[in-house]
Amino acid sequence: MSESDCPQILKVLTTVLGDGVLQPGSEEYKKSNGSYFSAFENEVKPAYIANPSSAEQVQHLIKALRPHLLSGNCQVAIRGTGHTPIAGSANIQNGVTIDTRGLKGITLSEDRSIVELGVGETWATTYTELEKHGLTVAGGRVGRIGVGGLILGGGLSMFSKRRGFACDSVTEFTVVLASGDLVRANAEENPDLWLALKGGLNNFGIVTSLKMKTFKSTEIWGGLTYYMPETFPQLIQSTCDYAYNETDEDTHIMCSAGYGFGHQAITVVMYHTRGLENPPALQRFTSVEPQIKQMGTMRKSTHLGFCDELSKFTTDGVRQYWASITVKPDVSLLGRFHEKWQTAVESLKDVEGFIFTLGMHPLTKTLLENSAKAGGNAKAIPPSDGPLLIILINPVWNLQKDDSRMFTYIRNLVAEFRQLADEKGLLHRYIFTNYADAIDAPIAGYGDESVARLRETSKKYDPQGVFQRGVPGGFKLPDVAT
């Protein structure tokens, strides 16, 4: 937005929101804009931050901003809790950042089978409220993440094997469209939009609330087990074996090699979501030695207890870089990834504040089948493609001066991983949306059929492409803006 457009846009915003508009120079602006997960997002400086507290205010905001979005003299970003590490995903230089964290509310249906969540809720506030009623939902694994962004990217949950992606539990979205109209999208009303939003990010409107299926919350057995670095080859075997052969739908794992502060360790986060202690499905992990027993946290707790635990493992405001590819589980391929990761650790360990994890997150066939059974989503991964492994490459560092070195090294590393997998015929087109890098096009990985459907849905609900051109951040629909 040019300086000459600012007074007019400010007038539009204050007419709708009164003092719910933050401007550079104020403490509130500084605090809000400094509260993203990654330093890269904190360094983006919007001209204004708009804080709506109701769906009606979002409607008025879009109606008032629409002519400016269409003429191109103003662009906006839509912010959830701001956990995507990519600069400009949920923030916008010189534009208007619409912060959805004020859209609160947790309301159970009369029969308690469905809960409506304002997108400004986090998984921690959601589980806290639901556990009072003996209930939970298949939401995120980390309590402090927001409801909106995780669901709109699909979302992995500790219940995913039984219930599919987190978005598969959504029975209805309430969305402000480009016209400013507030509509519902569910299996009967606007079903194409319902499907599109399950993985379709900010391409169709601003979601203000969503409804999810609840279920009884039971005690869960799980936590983190730490291992010595030499166990990784064994744990790769266990992860592949789990991905191919394990049928217990109440289990969930993620396995990571980690480097930090001069040391390496392996962690496996694992759960039995019906509270079975050390079940046969997880013994292929719990029996691996040597473990670092004094650090382990395996125990019985609640969904909230485990999600709070994972909330403590990451720090806000540092230089966070996430990248991901998806592969068929294969012991020798993962061994090669590990070798290359080790070389990267050696090469980069002089970088200040360097922490580096290489994670594996299985998408089992059962998970993909249960996802499809739940009504489908924009990701549209055929269950026959399973099992798959999401590989998460996540380096962290402190200083801006190392950005270029880190970006170049890690992007080359990911390109090498991709090439290795491709040569063996083990690379899958899908990139887990919530872990994708800025240079990726994860929506293209949903496949031609899904992309064609998403384009049609965009044309139907947003014929002038307001959410393609006026909201440039995040992953856009391939080719639709041209």
Ligand X SMILES: Cc1cc2nc3c(=O)[nH]c(=O)nc-3n(C[C@H](O)[C@H](O)[C@H](O)COP(=O)(O)OP(=O)(O)OC[C@H]3O[C@@H](n4cnc5c(N)ncnc54)[C@H](O)[C@@H]3O)c2cc1C
* Sites of contact with ligand X (CB under 6 A): 37, 78-84, 89-90, 100, 119, 140-142, 145-146, 148-150, 152-153, 155-156, 201-202, 206-207, 314, 434, 473-474
Nearer of residues 77 and 333 to ligand X, judged by Cβ: 77
Cβ proximity to ligand X, 47 vs 207, nearer residue: 207
**Neighbour-count burial of 118, counting CB atoms closer than 10 A to its CB (0-12 exposed, 13-18 middle, 19+ buried):** buried
CA–CA distance, 248 with 280 (Å, rounded to integer): 9
Gap between the Cα atoms of 464 and 473, Å rounded: 17
Q: Which is nearer to ligand X, 83 or 428 (CB)?
A: 83
Residue number with CB closer to ligand X (465 or 474): 474
Q: Where are the beta strands (DSSP E) in 187-283?
A: 206-213, 215-216, 220-227, 251-260, 263-272
Minimum CB separation from ligand X for residue 392, in Å?
9
DSSP 76-125: EEEESS----STTSS--TTSEEEEGGG---EEE-TTSSEEEEETT-BHHH
CA 32 remoteness from chain centre: 20
Is there a contact between 101 and 36 (Cβ–Cβ < 8 Å)?
no
Planar angle of CA 17, 20, 21, nearest 5 degrees:
95
From the list 435, 407, 432, the residue with the least C-alpha distance to 40 is 407
Q: How far apart are the first and last CA of the chain?
A: 21
Closest approach of ligand X to the CB of residue 148, in Å: 3
Residue nearer to ligand X on the CB measure, 329 or 474:
474
Residue placing its CB nearer to ligand X in the complex, 66 or 141: 141
Least Å distance between CB 346 and ligand X? 26
Which is closer to ligand X, CB of 150 or CB of 333? 150
Biggest CA pair distance of the chain? 66
Place of tokens 């987190």: 166
Nearer of residues 103 and 236 to ligand X, judged by Cβ: 103
Q: How far is the CB of 475 from ligand X (least distance, A)?
A: 7
Q: Tell me whether residue 259 or residue 288 sits nearer to ligand X (CB atom).
A: 259
Quote the distance between the C-alpha of residue 367 and its chain's center: 17
> Cβ 228 to ligand X, closest distance in Å?
25
- What whole-number distance in Å separates Cα of residue 251 and Cα of residue 273? 6
Q: How far is the CB of 87 from ligand X (least distance, A)?
A: 11
Query: CB-wise, 320 or 366, nearer to ligand X?
Result: 320
Between CA 252 and CA 162 the distance in angstroms is 10
**Hey, is 294 helix, strand or coil?**
helix
Nearest Cα to Cα of residue 66 among 129, 144, 12 = 12
Helices assigned H by DSSP within 287-364: 303-311, 331-348
Least distance from ligand X to the Cβ atom of residue 289, Å: 28
Number of CB atoms found within 10 A of residue 28's CB: 13
| Residues 286 and 225: beta-carbon distance below 8 Å | yes
Q: Which residues have CB under 8 Å from 350's CB, separation 6+? A: none
Q: How far is the CB of 147 from ligand X (least distance, A)?
A: 7
Cβ closest to ligand X, residue 80 vs residue 95: 80
Q: How far is the CB of 155 from ligand X (least distance, A)?
A: 4
CB of 25 to ligand X, least distance (A): 24
Side by side, the strands of the sheet bearing 206-213 are: 106-108, 114-118, 206-213, 170-176, 182-186
Alpha carbon distance 257, 356 (integer Å): 8
Least distance in Å: CB of 308 to ligand X?
Answer: 12
Q: Which is nearer to ligand X, 336 or 455 (CB)?
A: 455
Residues forming a β-bridge with 427: 327
Closest approach, Cβ 339 to ligand X, in A, equals: 27
